[in-house]
Structure 1
Amino acid sequence: MNREQMTLRVSPELKEALQEEAQRKGISFNSLVCLILRERIEEFHRGKPQSRKCDE
């Protein structure tokens, strides 16, 4: 599987919440972020986009 590296800037609070969720699920931080992004894209393609911004 080919992968690309990217930089994502988030608030310290969001990063901490993501780290805690990844630890709770027993997966890596990167895996959690990829999972969330994949699920969001699938929602978008099903016609259920959410309008919430990342920094809200």
Structure 2
Amino acid sequence: MKAVLIVAGLGVTPTITGERAGRVWYSVPQPVQTDDDVTPPLVFHTSECGFESTLTA
């Protein structure tokens, strides 16, 4: 997913009719985690992404 949202080190800028969108940001707030309470263990990764936009007049 990150490779689609972040290209050449910069976030892509979505095109939204009637809005001026900023670049997408991407972060990983936690390291990879393992849930050992299930069999087989579940390994998962949490990431966040988003962008801001404003209406154009």
Shared fold by TM > 0.5? Answer: no
The normalised TM-score by structure 1 is: 0.19
The normalised TM-score by structure 2 is: 0.19
Between the two structures, name the one with larger relative contact order (CA 8 Å, sep ≥ 6). 2
| Structure exhibiting the larger radius of gyration computed from Cα positions | 2
